[in-house]
Amino acid sequence: MSCDYVQLANPGVQSLQPYQAGKPMDELERELGIREIVKLASNENPLGPSPKVISAIQQSLSELTRYPDSNGFQLKHALSQRFSLSSDQITLGNGSNDLLEIVARTFLRDGTEAIYSQYAFIVYPLVTKAAGAKGIAVPAKAYGHDLTAMADAVNEKTRVIFLANPNNPTGTCFSTSAFETFMSRVPQSVIVVLDEAYTEFAENIDTPNGLDFLDRYSNLVVTRTFSKAYGLAALRVGFAVANPDITNLMNRVRQPFNVSSLAQTAAVTALADSDYLQQTVQVNSQGYQQLIDGFTALKLAFIPSAANFITLDMKKEAQPVYQALLHQGVIVRPLAVYGLPNHLRISIGTQAENQQFLTALEKVSL
């Protein structure tokens, strides 16, 4: 090859590595010929999609030759009604990852900085570097956000702060009072992104509902997704809420037709299906107890979680355990890429899936 194409790329892109998603089930089947695979790697909803969503999608199939509504009127209306919002506060995204990138493209550039926590979602540094900005990873506190230290890290170059609550991949949460104290210290010129991808699972926990603070903090952007609790991961749909001025800027950057018609239809239907959401949260709560009981019996350390996953501390290199579990037909998530080489993240599945994992774990970890 006569041309070094890496040198042609934007400086921020040159040092990036592609995002590595959880291993697909069919890939493991191809590699090892294993059937009856359990995937607990990507924090997906184990219930399968809501029957109401399936029905709504089937009724929409005849319109596949049409472009989707680029402005997402029906979905924005449903979100406005459900969460008491104004449509001009909402930006729709191809999953909440899309929205994180939109924020970065809107507010970050060469010479600016974004702040995020150590052990926070790996997309934050990816979108920061891709935008040409410098990422500042603030050391974690008990595997979670040290909001005091993050506020201390703000300087004249800071443009964006990414917060995840609950945090992925550790499942930790910060309290409402801690959030309020943090926001009181952050200048209005710094955009604070509160990533609430797992907020539906944080029941009975003192943690802020970001939507309640939008009127109070004009620099706050709240992102949410339909991929987890609402069971629509394959359709890729999320939304961001902010003051109309920020929303207007984000929608200038947003690609047209970034949320498909089927995704919009499914999201509107899922938003109204409270029974499905309630069942999801209940199954998650029961599965959480099942897994931590199993970990306790196996004398394995874990990080208490407010999300739909639990992170295990194997107290040794976790990659061999991950590989051994693959041979048992169980896919989990190794966390070396997050700087946690001794940890595995386990999504909470159905009772049967959790038990298959615990049985396999006992075989390979002891």
For the segment 212-237, what is each residue's pLDDT rounded down to a tens digit? 999 999 999 999 999 999 999 999 99
Check if the beta carbon of residue 196 is closer than 8 Å to that of residue 165. yes
Return phi, psi of residue 56, to 5°.
-65, -40
Angle at the Cα of 81 from the Cα atoms of 75 and 83, rounded to 5 degrees: 100
For every residue of 305-319, DSSP letters joined together read -SSSEEEEE-SS-SH
Per mean pLDDT, which range of 1-5, 138-142, 170-174, 335-339 is the poorest? 1-5
Q: What is the pLDDT of residues 305-361, one digit of tens each?
A: 999 999 999 999 999 999 999 989 999 999 999 999 999 999 999 999 999 999 999
Check if the beta carbon of residue 184 is closer than 8 Å to that of residue 143. no
Model pTM score: 0.93
Average pLDDT, the chain: 93
> Given pLDDT bands bounded at 50, 70 and 90, which one contains residue 16?
low
Given a cut of 60, whether residue 5 has pLDDT beyond it is no
Given a cut of 60, whether residue 21 has pLDDT beyond it is yes
Domains of the chain by start residue, with CATH = 10-48+275-365 (3.90.1150.10), 62-271 (3.40.640.10)
- Give the DSSP H or E segment for 222: strand 220-225
DSSP state of 22: P
Per mean pLDDT, which range of 18-22, 128-132, 165-169, 325-329 is the poorest? 18-22
> What b/e readout covers 40-76, taking b as 16+ CB neighbours within 10 angstroms?
bbbbbbbeebbeebeebbeebeeeeeeebeeebeebb
Check if the beta carbon of residue 77 is closer than 8 Å to that of residue 271. no
